[in-house]
Structure 1
Amino acid sequence: GAEAGDTEILENGGDTSYLVVFSTPFTYFGRTYNITYVNNNGLLTFSQAIPETNPYTFPAYGDEDYIAPLLTDLDDLGIGIYSYQEYTSGSVLTRATQDINQYFPGRDFTASWVFVATWDYVLTWDMNAITVQAVLISDGGFSFILIHYGDCAAIPTAVGAGYDTIGSTDYYQIHYDPNGGYSIPILKNTTNVGVPGRWAFLVYNGPGRTLIKVMC
């Protein structure tokens, strides 16, 4: 939150996006970006704002790279907050370094840059609370993303979660339900790294290295 130095965006009841210029470029499956759009619908995009709230199953075979911690209708009628912060030093980098070396051993990784986007108790049309977070981590060579799930109340709107790339050359679907997010409370208990509510992915293996594709 603001007390930790986050830039907070107060919701106004509409579909909104916020452009963030990175201090350090982030490479995502071979494409390097200097900006991201933090969209209030639970989506990070890199080339344009996409505030629409209609999730789609992965692979989408579209023309955008994006990370979707929880793509759904997060319009909160002016009550919730979504926020972001960038880190280039301090305890957040230390923790990111420890986590990545635990989840992806053998790389001698030291984080030099972390970007955190949080959708904190953004309320949907029926006033349920949802807390999700996306974390981008880099050492200038390797790139990783973490997705965190806190409380996610059941909602009646369609939901999608995971990541996708241009042409869906790489993608991963954590969750998708076109009929409503009635099962999303379980997300805080799901994981691919042994920590409930946390998902971790290698999204760039460094120049000259082949990235093993992970698809679901």
Structure 2
Amino acid sequence: MKGPKWVGNDPKGGVKDQEMTQCPVTAGGGGRAGTAPGGEGLAAAQEGAAESQSLTTASQCFPVPPRLLYPFGPGAGDETTPVEDDGMSPEQLLQGRFSFYGRAQTSLYVNNNGVVSFGRGVPEYTPKPFPLAERIPFVAPFWADVDLRRGGKVFYRQSRERPLLARLRRDLAAAAPPQGPAPSPTWAFLATWHQVSFFGAASNKTNTFQAVLASDELSSYVMLNYGSLQWTTGIADGGNPHSGTGGLPAQAGFNSGDDLHYYNLPGSRTPAVLSIARRSNVATPGRWIFRVDEFTATEPPPTPAPSTAVPTAPPPATTEKVYVCNW
């Protein structure tokens, strides 16, 4: 039970974490999906990516980009959410048309706990599996118990700036359909969680990640960029106050709000969720891009009850390509 925020002494100090998140050596992977989609100059460089790291498949190696996140912070014209536990931005009326699972969205909230939600805020700090019974449409780059009083900030803005849109056009091309035109966004919304801590933290572990919503008035895309992910769980969900792990780890993905369309990034609600910062579905480590007006990755049907029939091989978990680390 979470109860009052900070009862007793506020933990101080702690061990500064220097570890790099590493993902398991696997040949594939894939998320779980329903019928889902096809500063003061704060540096936007991907944290912890200065070293020579790589993702591999059987025949390809992709170096980790040194600058993955889009510019953010006061120097980029961002606003910030309240510095509090379980807080959120005021309602943001969208200046561009954004379709999410076939529904035009007109406003959103940026929630401190790693969620961009449509129609209402999400103060809930315990991540739940998709689809949600509450039928709340939202994007969850990293749904976990963030506490900005322990450190970090959450930035957000809408933009029609040409340089930003030009960069988005180049980056979104990786997710364009093979025989379709490349996306040419005319509007974007960016939300960035910069070095955010967790509830009950007694260490300096922080997470940095970003969600970018983009639209060209016809198609809509979500880009998830991950910098450094060092923790998964706050203490109210059973996490360790020093390591930020254990208990019920973070959830990442999408929920349409209709009980049918959803997508869970690989490793969600398990310790392996940290690996999304070194994996990708577009061959760029730490970056995930999805078309969300019509999402095409699918999940296999539920496993049937045991029978005497001869078993057959199950269908693949998803049609996406996932690139993983090889250490």
Please say whether Structure 1 and Structure 2 have the same fold, judged by a TM-score greater than 0.5: yes
1:16 paired to 2:87:
yes
1:70 maps to: 142
Q: Which residue of 2 aligns with 1:212?
A: 296
Cα pair 1:10 1:79 within 8 Å, conserved: no
Instruction: Give yes or no for the alignment of 1:110 onto 2:198.
Output: no
Give the aligned partner of residue 263 of structure 2. Answer: 172
Residue 41 of structure 1 corresponds to 113
- Runs of at least 4 residues off by over 6 Å: none
**2:223 matched to 1:146?**
yes
- 2:283 equivalent to 1:199: no
SS of equivalent residue, structure 1 residue 135: strand
1:144-191 per-position Cα deviation (integer Å, ceiling 9, x unaligned): 10111110113235311111111232211113226xxx4444221011
Q: Which region of structure 1 is more displaced relative to structure 2, 66-75 or 147-156?
A: 147-156
Gaps of 5+ in 1: 206-210
The number of aligned residues is: 207
| In structure 1, C-alpha distance between the alignment counterparts of 2:170 and 2:188, rounded to whole Å | 13
Looking at structure 1, the residues matched to 230 and 273 of structure 2 have their Cα atoms a distance apart, in angstroms, of 7
Deviation at 1:214, TM superposition (A): 3.7
TM-aligned CA distance change 1:10 to 1:49, over 3 Å: closer
How much has 1:200 moved relative to structure 2?
Answer: 0.7
Partner of 1:87: 159
1-structure distance, mates of 2:192, 2:153: 8
Q: Matched residues, percent identical? A: 29
Q: TM-score, normalised on structure 1?
A: 0.88
Higher strand share: 1
Q: For structure 2, which runs of at least 5 residues remain unmatched after alignment?
A: 1-72, 232-243, 300-317, 319-327
Higher RCO (C-alpha 8 Å, min separation 6): 2
On the 8 A contact 1:152/1:184 being kept in 2, the answer is no
Match of 1:163 in 2: 254
Q: 1:56: Cα distance to partner? A: 0.9
Deviates more, 1:35-44 or 1:74-83: 74-83
Spell out, residue by residue over 1:62-119, the C-alpha distance to the aligned partner (whole angstroms, 9 max, x if none): 4111100000001132531001011113211001111222321422421101111011
Alpha-carbon RMSD across the aligned residues, in angstroms, is 1.8
